[in-house]
Amino acid sequence: MEQTAKKKIRLNKFLSECGIASRRKSEELIKDGRVSVNGKIVTDFAYEVLLESDDVRVDGEKVKPEQKIYFLLNKPKGFITSTKDEKGRNTVINLIKTNKTIFPVGRLDYDTTGVLLLTNDGDFANALTHPSKKIIREYIAGLDKELTKEHRERLLKGITLDRRKSIFKRIYFPKKKNYKIVGVEVLEGRNHFVKRMFNSLGYEVKSLERVKFGEFTVDDLPVGKSRKLSYTEIRKHL
């Protein structure tokens, strides 16, 4: 009996480990009646399944646990941060050679470069992108004109964006006396957040690179190249 119990796992965790979705999204799938176990619809995400014998399906398709895999990509311009694109444009998935089904963690704009993580681990993705985790993202922005001291102070104190107070946690200038090149640290993961913050004060962002996401940096990784991350590198975020 004890041996059998060790092989049991909660249904929402099972789906997450299969790479279907994060645990939270998996719970939605279960509550919506899209998950069956041994031919019967299960709506209780705490339901326990036997790893070796139970037949678990989502929308009729059988799922099974798969090995977790993590990639760090130095994203180039001209690639969509998505698994596919309706317009047929290149996606970041095209840059990584793997037989696993992976997805990007968060988003970078079409013309934004730098640190991008890709994985098949929904819990890991949620741990990095959920607002409660307060993960720092660091960017280097190239502006069309010098950032004034007044505007720097406003961005640090907070401006209204999407009807709520929005701030840069830190602003610095990586190139001495070049106030068009601006480094910023943010906690936000909203689409186009850095660009829209500068746009709101009359600046155009000519270039944007994410140089850090949590503890992850691309270091000497060439643009367009990727590498696998070890469990040691990612476990602190799980």
Catalytically active residues are: 109
CB 15 within 8 A of CB 32: no
> How many helices (DSSP H) and strands (DSSP E) are in the chain?
7, 16
CB-neighbour burial class of residue 168 (10 A; exposed 0-12, middle 13-18, buried 19+)? buried
Report how far residue 124's alpha carbon sits from residue 238's, in angstroms, rounded to the nearest whole number.
6
Sign of CA dihedral 144, 146, 148, 151: positive
> Phi and psi of 29, rounded to 5°?
-60, -40
Kind and range of the H or E run holding 182: strand 181-186
Do residues 119 and 67 make contact, with C-beta atoms less than 8 angstroms apart?
no
Cβ-based neighbour number of residue 20 at 10 Å: 21
Report the half-sphere exposure of 224 (CA within 13 A, side-chain side): 3
The token duo for 70 is: 């993590």
- CA nearest 180: which of 151, 148, 227? 148
